[in-house]
């Protein structure tokens, strides 16, 4: 059976933004856990040019039914016009971790 956990990946222009989004999501029980990686190098199209930049990756671990709330939060606080907010399904998770995540990412 497929897990109801999703991993949400958000690219952030700064570590401070990634930390602020992480804290807001965890505090609001939109995600049970957050991890920040980086800096990473990014190469992308923008306004007809190839751009390069340094970013931080925010990973939010949550339930699939919290996706729209996380997307709303990130969209409201992220400075980019088109932030990358990607949900990746978790195929398997150990039962104890899944129970912990579910209990800590419930709507109040």
| Percent of the chain surpassing pLDDT 90 | 94
User: What mean pLDDT do residues 40-52 have?
Assistant: 96
Sign of the CA dihedral 34, 11, 1, 94? negative
pLDDT band at 107 (very low <50, low <70, confident <90, very high): confident
Among candidate residues 75, 100, 107, 73, the one with its CA nearest the CA of residue 5: 100
Q: For residue 82, give its domain range.
A: 5-104
User: What mean pLDDT do residues 63-75 have?
Assistant: 98
Looking at residue 98, which CATH number applies to its domain?
3.30.70.120
User: What mean pLDDT do residues 28-56 have?
Assistant: 97
pLDDT band at 2 (very low <50, low <70, confident <90, very high): low
**Number of domains the chain contains:** 1
Angle between helices 67-77 and 15-27 (to 10 degrees): 140
Among candidate residues 79, 88, 71, the one with its CA nearest the CA of residue 55: 79
- The DSSP element (H or E) to which 100 belongs, if any, is helix 95-104
Q: What integer best gives the mean pLDDT of the chain?
A: 96
Strand partners, 88: 7
pTM of this structure: 0.93
- Given a contact cutoff of 8 angstroms between Cβ atoms, the answer to whether 107 and 67 are in contact is no
pLDDT at res. 106: 87
Q: In sequence order, what E strands does 14-98 have?
A: 33-46, 49-63, 85-89
Check whether 94 has a pLDDT greater than 80.
Answer: yes
Q: What is the pLDDT of residues 49-68, one digit of tens each?
A: 999 999 999 999 999 999 99
């Amino acid at each position: 059976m497929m897990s109801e956990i999703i991993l949400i990946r958000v690219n952030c222009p700064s570590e401070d933004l990634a930390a602020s989004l992480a804290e807001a999501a965890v505090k609001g029980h939109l995600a049970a856990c957050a991890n920040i990686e980086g800096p990473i190098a990014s190469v992308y199209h923008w306004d007809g040019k190839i751009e390069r930049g340094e970013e931080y990756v925010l990973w939010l671990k949550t339930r699939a039914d919290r996706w729209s709330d996380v997307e709303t939060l990130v969209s409201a606080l992220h400075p980019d016009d088109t932030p990358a907010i990607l949900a990746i399904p978790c195929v398997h998770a150990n039962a104890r971790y899944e129970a912990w995540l579910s209990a800590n990412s419930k709507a109040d």
